[in-house]
Amino acid sequence: MSIKIITPVAEFAELLPQEYKDLVAHGPYNERRFVRDLGTFKEIVDEHPHCAGCGVALAIRLLAAALPSPADTLIVGTPGCSFFALIQTALNYSNTAFGNQNAVATGLKRMLEIRFPHVHKDVVVVAGDGGIADIGLDLTLHSWFRREKITTVMLDNEVYANTGGQESGMSRQGQVLNMAPRGKHFPKIPVFELAKVSGCVYGVRVTVASPHKVGRAIRNAILIARELGPTYVQVYTPCPTNMKFPPNQTLKVAKEAEKDHYSYEEFMSAEAAEYLVQSKAESKEM
Amino acid sequence: MAGLQREVDPEYLFWEAPRRQVFITGSEAVAEAVKRANVDMAIAYPITPQSESMHLVGDLYAQGYLRDYYRGENEFAVMAAVHGASLGGGRVFTATSGPGTLRAMEMFPVWTGSRQPIVCAFMCRGVSLPPSIQPENIEMAMLLDVGMLMFHAEDAQDFFDMILKAYAIAEQPDVHLPVGVFVDGFFVTHTRSMVALPPDDLKLPAYDPRRAPVPTFDMETPPIRMVRDPLLNKSNFISYAANASWHQEIAAAAERARKHIRRYMGGLLEVDDPAATIFLAASGTAVSQSREAIKVLKAGGIRVGLIKIKSIRPFPAREIAAATAHADLIVVPEFNIGGWLAREIKASIDNNRRVVGGPRVFGGMTMPTELIVNEVRSALDRSGTKQPGSGARI
Q: What is the mean pLDDT of residues B109-127?
A: 95
Poorest-pLDDT segment among A89-93, B196-200, B369-373: A89-93
Return the sign of the alpha-carbon dihedral for residues B36, B189, B81, B162.
positive
ipTM above 0.90, yes or no: yes
Say whether B73 and A87 touch across the interface (CB within 8 A): no
The C-alpha torsion from A196 through A201 and A205 to A208, rounded to 10°, is -160
| Mean pLDDT, residues A209-215 | 98
Cross-chain residue pair B80–A104, CB shorter than 8 Å: yes
* A74/B92 touch (CB, cutoff 8 Å), yes or no: no
Least confident segment among A16-25, B178-187, B196-205: A16-25
- In angstroms, the CA A189 to CA B251 distance is 43
Answer whether B230 touches A (CB < 8 Å): no
A254-280 residue pLDDT tens? 999 999 999 999 999 999 999 999 988
Residue A111 has pLDDT above 90, yes or no: yes
Among the residue ranges A104-108, B113-117, B181-185, B264-268, the one predicted with the least confidence is: B113-117
Please tell me the predicted confidence (pLDDT) of residue B236.
65
Of A73, A107, A115, the CB nearest to B81: A107
Instruction: Identify the pLDDT of residue A2.
Output: 46
Q: Name which of B102-111, B126-135, B285-294 the model is least confident about.
A: B126-135
Say which CATH architecture domain B269-383 belongs to.
3-Layer(aba) Sandwich (3.40)
pLDDT tens by residue, B153-181: 999 999 999 999 999 999 999 999 999 99
Write down the pLDDT at residue B394. Answer: 43
Query: Would you identify the CATH topology of the domain B2-211?
Result: Rossmann fold (3.40.50)
Split at pLDDT 50, 70, 90, the class of A246 is very high
Q: Please report the pLDDT score of residue A283 as a whole number.
A: 73
- Quick: pLDDT tens for B25-59: 999 999 999 999 999 999 999 999 999 999 999 99
> Which residues on B lie below 8 Å from A1 (Cβ)?
219-220, 222
Taking the CA of residue B50 and the nearest CA in chain A, the distance in Å comes to: 21
pTM, 2 dp = 0.94
Which three-class secondary structure state does DSSP give residue B356?
Answer: strand
Q: What is the structure's pLDDT at A3? A: 47
B233 pLDDT exceeds 80? Answer: no
Residue B114 has pLDDT above 70, yes or no: yes
Which pLDDT value is given to residue B273? 98
Least confident of A102-106, B7-11, B179-183, B216-220: B216-220
Phi and psi angles of residue A94, each rounded to the nearest 5 degrees, phi first: -120, 130
Q: Does position A6 have pLDDT exceeding 70, yes or no?
A: no
Q: Please answer yes or no on whether A1 and B220 come within 8 Å at the CB atom.
A: yes
Is residue A4 over pLDDT 70?
Answer: no
Q: Above pLDDT 90, what percent of chain A?
A: 77
Tell me, what's the pLDDT at A285?
Answer: 63
Residue of B nearest to A145 (CA): B73
pLDDT at B221: 57
pLDDT at B298 over 90: yes
Say how far residue A112 (Cα) sits from the centre of its chain.
20
Q: Are the Cβ atoms of B84 and A105 closer than 8 angstroms?
A: yes
Q: Provide the pLDDT for residue A279.
A: 86
- Per-position b or e across B48-65, b if 16+ CB within 10 A of its CB: bbbbbbbebbbebbeeeb
Q: What is the mean pLDDT of chain B?
A: 93
pLDDT at A168 over 50: yes
d(CA B357, CA B345): 9
DSSP states along chain A: --GGGGPPPHHHHTTS-HHHHHHHHHSTTTS---GGGTTSS--S-----PPTT-HHHHHHHHHHHH-S-GGGEEEE--SSTHHHHHTTSSSEEE--STT-HHHHHHHHHHHHHHH-TTS--EEEEEEEHIIIIITTHHHHHHHHHTT-S-EEEEEE-SSBTTTTSB--TTSPTT--BBTBTT---SPPP-HHHHHHHTT-SEEEEEETT-HHHHHHHHHHHHHHHHHT--EEEEEE---HHHHT--GGGHHHHHHHHHHTT---EEEE-HHHHHHHHHHHHHHHH-
Q: How confident is the model at residue B391 (pLDDT cuts 50, 70, 90)?
A: very low
Q: In what order do the strands lie in the sheet with B355-360?
A: B269-272, B305-309, B278-282, B329-334, B355-360
Show which of residues 103-162 on chain B sit within 8 Å of chain A, judged by CB atoms.
106-107, 110
pLDDT at B393: 43
Mean pLDDT to the nearest integer, A62-83: 92
* pLDDT higher than 60, residue B24: yes
The proportion of chain A whose per-residue pLDDT surpasses 70, expressed as a percent, equals: 97
Structural domains in chain A, CATH included, are 10-283 (3.40.50.970)
pLDDT at residue B226 in the model = 58
- Residue boundaries of the structural domains of chain B: 2-211, 269-383
Over residues A56-81, mean pLDDT: 94
